Amino acid sequence: MASLDSGRVPRKRKRLFLSRAVPVVLALAVQIAFVYVVVTVVQRNFYAFYFLSVFVSIVITLWILSSSNNPAYKITWIVPILVFPLFGALFYLFWGSDRLARKMRRKLNAKTVHICEALPELQLPAPGEGGEIDTRMDGVSRHVSRYLHRYAKSPVWENTQTEYLALGELKLRRLLEELEKAERYIFMEYYIIEPGEMWNAILSVLERKAKAGVDVRVIYDDYGCMRTLPASFPKELREKGIQCAVFNPIRPVLSAYINSRDHRKITVIDGIAAFTGGINLADEYINRVDKYGHWKDVSIFLLGDAAWSFTVMFLGMWEYLVGTKDTFSNYRPSAPLQPFPESTGFVQPFADRPMDGESVGENVYLSLIHRAEDYLYITTPYLIIGNELTVALSLAAKGGTDVRIITPHRGDNFFIHAATRAYYKQLVESGVKIYEYTPGFIHSKSFVADDSYAVVGTINMDFRSLYLHFECGVWLYKTDTVMEIKNDFLKTLEACGQITKETLADMPFLERFVGRIMRILSPLL
């Protein structure tokens, strides 16, 4: 593959971002300024209105305190509401509350029944309820699998080969191979798509397959693609015979909708092959563009029965966005899959969405942290965690578990990276070993523990990913890829520098100061 002009792509991205973002940002700024001016002027001229605004702020504060939201999220909003009476409350209602997203919640919850109907495996006993599968699972795996079965509507599968892809370049090569095999349909759902070497290679196959009669559909998040795609992109795909749906098209209106983003990365082919992981469809993910040094990311490829869970995930989102209702069973493989003699262990794909009141991704992470005994290895681009994860990681390390975390040495955002580093001190002092990937930016999201358990997916360790985004992942138990994930972690560790108390003391004062401020604001990042 020929190398791209690494300078030209950022310039194009900047022009595109400005053309799409500037009108939206200006419109939002005008709305915020207008609300602030109106509230301030009225308060200064009418004492009764001022006291009314204080009363409203107190009511909103009590409402927030009584909600089931994360405590850190509550505190982050309560402070500005009390400091700026009424204006802070109004801004919360527009931006922080899920009141305006209730329509989205109702629509998505209505799809749950349809999704369960497409997964008859959910009618079987959950792990730990006396089924045949229990005899081949240990207590840790039964606990996590039972939780995913009951609360994430995610059945556990066998008869599935798994392949761990340790770099974006490997994922692209494997993806192109599988796309060429498509006979019935190709479904792709990504947070970021950007024209370039990676996407153009994929698009060439998609266009050719669509002309051959394959049902090709693409979903992308408009916020994630604001810098990379023009507003006309759906029309361009449709002209090529590719169906397209956009999650949360950006509008210049204050709304809580913008807090919910589709952060999933899914490709499903004919209901038997599926990919997920941290890799988006842009050239930095295959190191054809140098943004922050070497880009380290991973993906997991499933071949077999478990791919059906990702098919159902995609179709559920497609129905929500397009407003149609498909018969999901029409997309199941036309013939039962033959047993894969090489397949081992159990595979459990799961979805996490912000509207169901269940923090699936965080709970899976917490379960693994609490139950890991020998070691727990984690890779994450952002370590901006709440009290629950901080205490769990610290307690695991204090209890003798070898807890190691790899984060980027070069961040993709100064403020976000400063917030990540602000969590180092407490964790390091508790015995957690933290390393930074010195060649550049690590974007993978993986957990592996005790040579038996692993999670690979799209879920970052930050508030937005754990509570506000649509995410997905794969829980793995005793598959061959578990050891591959462990070995890749140890290999990556060789290119990392460990964070010590001395390292922390040598960090620039400005970065430490900014980190502390951003840590306070972390639920809003």
> Is-catalytic flag, 296?
no
User: Which among 450, 462, 469, 486 is annotated as catalytic?
Assistant: 450
- 263 flagged as catalytic: yes
Per the residue annotation, which of 74, 153, 265, 409 is the catalytic one?
265
Asked about 270 being catalytic, the answer comes back as yes
For 360, half-sphere exposure in the C-beta direction (CA atoms, 13 angstrom radius) is: 30
Q: What are phi and psi of 162, to 5 degrees?
A: -120, 140
Token pair belonging to 192: 């970021």
Q: Do 415 and 514 meet the contact criterion of CB atoms below 8 Å apart?
A: yes
For the question of residue 211 being annotated catalytic, the response is no
Catalytic residue among 221, 222, 262, 270: 270
Q: Sort 62 into a burial class: Cβ within 10 Å, 0-12 / 13-18 / 19+.
A: exposed
**CA dist., res. 272 & res. 68, Å (int):** 38
- CA dist 255 to 20, 29, 125, Å? 18, 13, 41
Sign of CA dihedral 524, 381, 226, 208: negative
Q: Extract the tokens encoding 48.
A: 């009764």
487: Cβ contacts below 8 Å, ≥ 6 apart: none
Task: Show the DSSP H helices in 399-508 as ranges.
Answer: 414-421, 424-429, 463, 480-493, 501-505
Beta bridge partners of 449: 376, 453
Pairing type for strands 215-221 and 243-247 reads parallel
The vertex-47 CA angle with 45 and 48, nearest 5°, equals 120
Q: Which residues, other chains included, contact 197 with Cβ-Cβ below 8 Å and sequence gap of 6+?
A: 1, 2, 4, 283, 286, 288
Show the tokens assigned to 520: 């306070």
Can you tell me the distance from the alpha carbon of 88 to that of 224, in angstroms, rounded to the nearest whole number?
27
Residue 295, C-beta contacts closer than 8 angstroms, at least 6 positions apart: 168, 284, 285, 286, 287, 440, 441, 443
Active site residue 14: no
d(C-alpha 27, C-alpha 41), whole Å:
21
Question: Is 305 an active-site residue?
Answer: no
Catalytic: which of 74, 153, 171, 263?
263
- Residue 418 CB burial class (10 angstroms; 0-12, 13-18, ≥19): buried
Find residue 273's DSSP bridge partners: 269, 303
Q: At 447, phi and psi to the nearest 5?
A: -125, 140
Pairing verdict, β 461-462 and 383-384 = parallel
Between CA 451 and CA 484 the distance in angstroms is: 10
Q: Choose among 130, 132, 125, 115: nearest CA to 149.
A: 125
441 by Cβ neighbours in 10 Å (0-12 / 13-18 / 19+) ranks as buried
DSSP H or E segment with residue 245? strand 243-247
- For residues 407 and 433, give the distance between their C-alpha atoms in angstroms, rounded to a whole number: 11
Q: Of these residues, 209, 296, 445, 469, which one is catalytic?
A: 445
Query: Which residues belong to the active site?
Result: 263, 265, 270, 443, 445, 450
